[in-house]
Amino acid sequence: MAVTASVLSGGLSAAELVLTNGDRIHGALTSVNASSVMWKSDSFGDLAIDKSKVANLTTDHKMKVQGVKEACIISGMEGYYLNYVCGDNNEPHSMQLMALDSIVPFVQFHADGAQVSGKMKLAATYQRGNTVEDDVAIDGETAYREGDWRHVGTLNYDSESTDNLPADEDYDLEYRLDRFLSERWFWYNQIGYGAEESINVDERYTFGTGIGVQLWEDPNSALAIGNGLLYKKELLDPTAEEKVDPSWNSKTEVAYYRFSTKFRYKLPFSAEIFNTNVVLYSLQDSENWELSADFGLHIPLGVGLFSEFKLEYDYDNQPSSPDARNEDSKLTVGIGYQW
């Protein structure tokens, strides 16, 4: 969005937004979310400005910044970093604007500072002829943010059927609660439930906790890491031979150390590549470890729509089911909507 405004002869006013093209807009900051600065202009009304187009901003009223308990006044920007002073002692803070997912007026924070976002993606295969194949993959995520707390729900569902055989259904449901301890650091807790019929896992339960940190986030790239513990319990679906085998164990329970990374890099035309990795290392058996990695290309299509190419790779050094392979990979091309 291009906004035309008068250029001031002096410096920044008490409440002013400066864009990378040089435009200056008087008004007030109403909020900051994961992607945009919401600004109420004296001349143009309510505006949503992409963070990457913001060169400078100041406020003349107190704001609630994620991870900071005291009220803050935003004093300007230096490069990608937003500067603000907080509390009665005017303690200085500095953080990359792209990494701040929540800034709201301090008064609104006490009244109603909730933010909701999410996305949903669908990929499918329908084939008839020498091979009959029906595949569906659905990925969804929604987040509810209020103050320094963030609730995140995710859904991953895959259904694969070949030659009219009953479909193998794999799915994972997860709920995560994040508490921002500072602008960069957060504490996460997660619970999950799922199943993986393709490898005879009838039910899967997970519980985890840990600490995450946003190492950096700017308009071009971002990297976050997490460290924590994860408990996983799996109930297995027996084969005919296993049902009569007295030594067969119908469940597995493992406690893991969990390490994760999340990276993105911006390409021309607003496209971006992304990579997420999760490594699980058993605390009971040093030979038991797992790796899950996603590599992808995200292409915005406008009005909230996007296209995504994603390669999923999983490696399990000691699968729960003896019929399961150590490696599994999948390439999906899908279309989705985000809000």
Token representation of residue 189: 């807790």
How is domain 115-338 classified at the CATH fold level?
Lipocalin (2.40.128)
Report pTM.
Answer: 0.75
Spatial separation of the C-alpha atoms in residues 110 and 269, rounded to whole Å: 39
Q: Estimate the share of the chain in helix, then strand, then coil, as percent rounded to the nearest 5.
A: 5, 65, 30
pLDDT of residue 4: 40
What pLDDT is recorded for position 129?
60
The confidence score (pLDDT) of residue 240 equals 66
Cβ neighbours of residue 128 under 8 Å, at least 6 residues apart? none
CA distance 27 to 42: 5
Please, are residues 199 and 321 in contact by the beta-carbon 8 Å criterion? Answer: yes
**CA dihedral of 63, 64, 69, 70, whole degrees rounded to 10:** 10
| Domains of the chain by residue range | 16-112, 115-338
The residues facing 74 across adjacent strands are: 84
pLDDT tens digits in sequence order for the chain, 339 residues long: 444 433 333 344 468 999 999 999 999 999 998 889 999 998 889 999 999 999 999 998 899 998 898 899 999 999 999 999 999 888 899 999 999 988 988 877 655 557 788 999 998 876 666 555 778 899 999 999 887 889 999 999 998 877 677 778 899 999 999 999 988 899 999 999 999 988 888 999 999 999 999 998 888 899 999 999 999 999 988 766 766 676 667 888 999 999 999 999 999 888 999 999 999 999 999 899 999 999 999 999 989 999 999 999 999 998 876 667 889 888 889 999 998
From the list 149, 284, 184, 183, the residue with the least C-alpha distance to 229 is 284
Tell me the C-alpha to C-alpha distance, in Å, between residue 333 and each of 46, 124, 337.
36, 8, 14
146-199 confidence digits (pLDDT tens)? 878 899 999 999 988 776 777 788 999 999 999 999 888 999 999 999 999 888
